[in-house]
Structure 1
Amino acid sequence: MIERNKIEIFNSTLIERGLTLICAESITAGLLASNIASISGASSVLKGSIVTYNRDLKTALLGVSLI
């Protein structure tokens, strides 16, 4: 887990700047989105998240090129 106060500061900063976030995660398996969503009011910041651990899904869903 990321320190709660850091996530609160991050969320507050996004709200103050009128910004939102969409996550695409792989090896973190949704850790970032989970931390952000754990803070009250996260729905005004986090618009969604997708976890694509499989190489084929990364390419198909996110357009990630395989090296």
Structure 2
Amino acid sequence: MSTWDEFVAGHAVGDVVTARVEKVVPFGALLTVDAGFPGLLPGAGALEVGTHVPVRIAEFDADAQRMRFATA
């Protein structure tokens, strides 16, 4: 089982996880969870790069091994 598979097996849509803000873009923020997998938090405004924020997993994209987040 890959690390991605292990992460998905241990988490579900709706779970709250901590993610690091990697980049703020016009349409949201690009985040990375501690396991190293990226995701998008749409519409995120006043976040600072390098900070850690609690987010809710809204969707898994297994093909791209990334997630979409929602505010927690």
TM over 0.5: no
Task: State the TM-score, normalized to the length of structure 1.
Answer: 0.29
Higher helix share: 1
Higher Rg: 1
Higher strand share: 2
Task: State the TM-score, normalized to the length of structure 2.
Answer: 0.28
